[in-house]
Amino acid sequence: MDSFDLFGYHLLNQFAGHLHSLDLIMSFFAQYALELYASLFVITWFTLPKPYTDRRHTLVIMGLSGILALIINLVISNIWFRPRPFVTLPKSTFTQLIPHSVDASFPSDHTSGSFGFAAGSWNKASFWVRWSFTLLAILVAIARVYTGVHWPTDVLASVIIGVVSAKVTWLINPIFRPLTNLADMIFHYGKYAKENSN
């Protein structure tokens, strides 16, 4: 471990275990990001006006960006194994708020997926979607260090992985348009909504 990781880790983790309400909030974001994102995706999908096919395509690309980020993480973690802070550090020097397996610490799946979703929305989705997904991603990244299960460079690298994944997915986004069209057909959105109204 390097001095940056030690400093950054203790900078955030030093607050853990002192304020119960803050611990609950951070533990929630650290553990239940997937459920929060799933809720945001569903709410956004069904609240968009029916003709907004391009906005729904953005949601599809956001989801695929997060998936690509997780695939990249899987490859990296199988090439290089980095122990988690609670495995490496003496027990008296940190506070671990949430249970976790002793799998690879680098990169952070939660953070990579979160920033894949968020970066996929940048300059493409509506204002509230961009900001809600991005704010949640930032909270998740901080919470993973605060709760004691990741090093700072784990989450910083994961931010990069998420953003790169989103850029790559947008570059090839036309090949996923049939997936959006299929979803529109299933839910009677876009051109399918118009056909059904005739």
pLDDT in tens, 135-159: 999 999 999 999 999 999 999 999 9
Residue 197 pLDDT greater than 60, yes or no:
no
Grouping H, G, I as helix, E, B as strand and the rest as coil, residue 122 is coil
CATH 1.20.144.10 fits 59-197, yes or no: yes
Kindly list the domain boundaries of the chain, sorted by start residue. 59-197
Q: What is the pLDDT of residue 191?
A: 82
**Tell me: the pLDDT tens digits for 111-135?**
999 999 999 999 889 999 999 999 9
Q: Which two tokens stand for residue 111?
A: 């953070």
Q: Which of 61-70, 87-96, 98-107, 185-194 has the lowest mean pLDDT?
A: 185-194
Query: Tell me, what's the pLDDT at 1?
Result: 66
The confidence score (pLDDT) of residue 29 equals 97
Amino acid 35 reads E
pTM for this model (two decimals): 0.93
- How many angstroms separate the CA atoms of 159 and 64, rounded? 16
DSSP conformation class of 102: S
Please report, for residues 5, 67, 90, 93, 145, the alpha-carbon distance to residue 2 in angstroms, rounded to integers and kept in the order given.
Answer: 5, 30, 16, 16, 15
What phi, psi does 83 have (nearest 5°)?
-65, 150
